[in-house]
Structure 1
Amino acid sequence: MAVSISAVALLSIVVFVLIRGGNVRIGPALACAAFGFFLASTGAAPVISTAISAVTGWIASI
Protein backbone atom coordinates (compact mmCIF):
# COMPACT_ATOMS: atom_id res chain seq x y z
CA MET A 1 0.00 0.00 0.00
CA ALA A 2 2.79 2.44 0.87
CA VAL A 3 4.49 1.72 -2.44
CA SER A 4 1.37 2.51 -4.47
CA ILE A 5 0.77 5.79 -2.62
CA SER A 6 4.39 6.80 -3.12
CA ALA A 7 4.20 5.85 -6.79
CA VAL A 8 1.02 7.88 -7.25
CA ALA A 9 2.60 10.90 -5.56
CA LEU A 10 5.79 10.61 -7.61
CA LEU A 11 3.99 10.10 -10.91
CA SER A 12 1.59 12.97 -10.24
CA ILE A 13 4.56 15.28 -9.62
CA VAL A 14 6.22 14.08 -12.84
CA VAL A 15 3.01 14.69 -14.84
CA PHE A 16 2.59 18.13 -13.27
CA VAL A 17 6.16 19.11 -14.17
CA LEU A 18 5.77 17.80 -17.73
CA ILE A 19 2.53 19.74 -18.22
CA ARG A 20 4.00 22.93 -16.76
CA GLY A 21 7.15 22.55 -18.87
CA GLY A 22 5.11 22.27 -22.05
CA ASN A 23 6.36 18.77 -22.86
CA VAL A 24 2.91 17.22 -22.42
CA ARG A 25 -0.41 18.89 -23.03
CA ILE A 26 -3.41 18.38 -20.78
CA GLY A 27 -5.30 16.19 -23.28
CA PRO A 28 -2.68 13.44 -23.59
CA ALA A 29 -2.08 13.57 -19.83
CA LEU A 30 -5.79 12.98 -19.18
CA ALA A 31 -5.86 10.19 -21.75
CA CYS A 32 -2.94 8.47 -19.98
CA ALA A 33 -4.67 8.88 -16.61
CA ALA A 34 -7.87 7.37 -17.99
CA PHE A 35 -5.90 4.49 -19.50
CA GLY A 36 -4.29 3.77 -16.14
CA PHE A 37 -7.63 3.97 -14.38
CA PHE A 38 -9.22 1.46 -16.74
CA LEU A 39 -6.12 -0.75 -16.80
CA ALA A 40 -6.38 -1.05 -13.02
CA SER A 41 -9.76 -2.77 -13.40
CA THR A 42 -8.49 -5.45 -15.80
CA GLY A 43 -6.84 -8.78 -15.14
CA ALA A 44 -3.44 -7.21 -15.82
CA ALA A 45 -3.55 -5.13 -12.61
CA PRO A 46 -2.26 -7.88 -10.25
CA VAL A 47 0.60 -8.73 -12.62
CA ILE A 48 1.62 -5.07 -12.89
CA SER A 49 1.35 -4.60 -9.13
CA THR A 50 3.51 -7.67 -8.50
CA ALA A 51 6.11 -6.50 -11.01
CA ILE A 52 6.27 -3.03 -9.44
CA SER A 53 6.59 -4.56 -5.97
CA ALA A 54 9.42 -6.79 -7.19
CA VAL A 55 11.28 -3.87 -8.76
CA THR A 56 10.89 -1.68 -5.68
CA GLY A 57 12.04 -4.56 -3.47
CA TRP A 58 15.06 -5.07 -5.69
CA ILE A 59 15.89 -1.34 -5.57
CA ALA A 60 15.52 -1.31 -1.77
CA SER A 61 17.96 -4.20 -1.43
CA ILE A 62 20.72 -2.35 -3.30
Structure 2
Amino acid sequence: MSAVLLLGLLIWFLLHIRYLRWSVVLLCGAFGFLLAKTAAAPVVQSALDGFGGFLGQLQF
Protein backbone atom coordinates (compact mmCIF):
# COMPACT_ATOMS: atom_id res chain seq x y z
CA MET A 1 0.00 0.00 0.00
CA SER A 2 1.44 3.36 -0.91
CA ALA A 3 2.29 6.07 1.59
CA VAL A 4 0.17 8.53 -0.36
CA LEU A 5 -2.92 6.38 0.13
CA LEU A 6 -2.21 5.87 3.83
CA LEU A 7 -1.57 9.56 4.43
CA GLY A 8 -4.67 10.46 2.44
CA LEU A 9 -6.78 8.13 4.56
CA LEU A 10 -5.27 9.57 7.73
CA ILE A 11 -6.05 13.12 6.61
CA TRP A 12 -9.60 12.10 5.67
CA PHE A 13 -10.09 10.46 9.07
CA LEU A 14 -8.76 13.50 10.95
CA LEU A 15 -11.02 15.77 8.91
CA HIS A 16 -13.95 13.44 9.56
CA ILE A 17 -13.53 13.68 13.33
CA ARG A 18 -12.97 17.44 12.91
CA TYR A 19 -9.44 17.33 14.24
CA LEU A 20 -8.03 19.14 11.19
CA ARG A 21 -9.27 22.12 9.27
CA TRP A 22 -9.21 22.38 5.49
CA SER A 23 -6.66 25.20 5.64
CA VAL A 24 -4.19 22.92 7.44
CA VAL A 25 -4.76 20.14 4.89
CA LEU A 26 -4.15 22.54 1.99
CA LEU A 27 -1.03 23.89 3.67
CA CYS A 28 0.33 20.36 4.25
CA GLY A 29 -0.47 19.39 0.67
CA ALA A 30 1.30 22.45 -0.71
CA PHE A 31 4.30 21.77 1.52
CA GLY A 32 4.48 18.14 0.35
CA PHE A 33 4.17 19.18 -3.29
CA LEU A 34 6.97 21.70 -2.94
CA LEU A 35 9.13 19.29 -0.92
CA ALA A 36 8.86 16.73 -3.73
CA LYS A 37 10.61 19.18 -6.05
CA THR A 38 13.61 19.79 -3.79
CA ALA A 39 16.88 17.95 -3.27
CA ALA A 40 15.42 16.53 -0.04
CA ALA A 41 12.92 14.39 -1.98
CA PRO A 42 15.25 11.36 -2.40
CA VAL A 43 16.12 11.44 1.32
CA VAL A 44 12.46 11.60 2.31
CA GLN A 45 11.62 8.81 -0.17
CA SER A 46 14.38 6.53 1.15
CA ALA A 47 13.27 7.17 4.74
CA LEU A 48 9.69 6.29 3.84
CA ASP A 49 10.87 3.17 1.99
CA GLY A 50 12.89 2.10 5.02
CA PHE A 51 9.98 2.68 7.36
CA GLY A 52 7.67 0.78 5.03
CA GLY A 53 10.14 -2.09 4.89
CA PHE A 54 10.32 -2.13 8.68
CA LEU A 55 6.53 -2.23 8.96
CA GLY A 56 6.43 -5.00 6.38
CA GLN A 57 8.78 -7.13 8.50
CA LEU A 58 6.64 -6.86 11.65
CA GLN A 59 4.69 -9.97 12.54
CA PHE A 60 1.74 -9.86 14.87
Q: Same fold (TM over 0.5)?
A: yes
**What interval of TM-score do these two structures reach, taking the shorter chain for normalisation?**
0.7 to 0.9
Please list every run of 5 or more consecutive structure 2 residues that lacks an aligned counterpart in the other structure: none
Give the TM-score, by structure 2 length: 0.85
Give the TM-score, by structure 1 length: 0.82
Partner of residue 52, structure 1: 48
Matched-pair identity in %: 38
Q: Matches of 1:17 and 1:58 in 2, distance apart?
A: 24
> Which structure ranks higher in relative contact order (CA pairs < 8 Å, sequence separation ≥ 6)?
1
- For residues 1-62 of structure 1, what are the structure 2 equivalents within 5 Å? 6-62=2-58
Q: Which has the higher helix share?
A: 1
Report the count of equivalent residues.
Answer: 58
CA RMSD of aligned residues (A): 1.2
Question: Following TM superposition, where does structure 1 have runs of at least 4 consecutive aligned residues deviating by more than 2 angstroms?
Answer: none
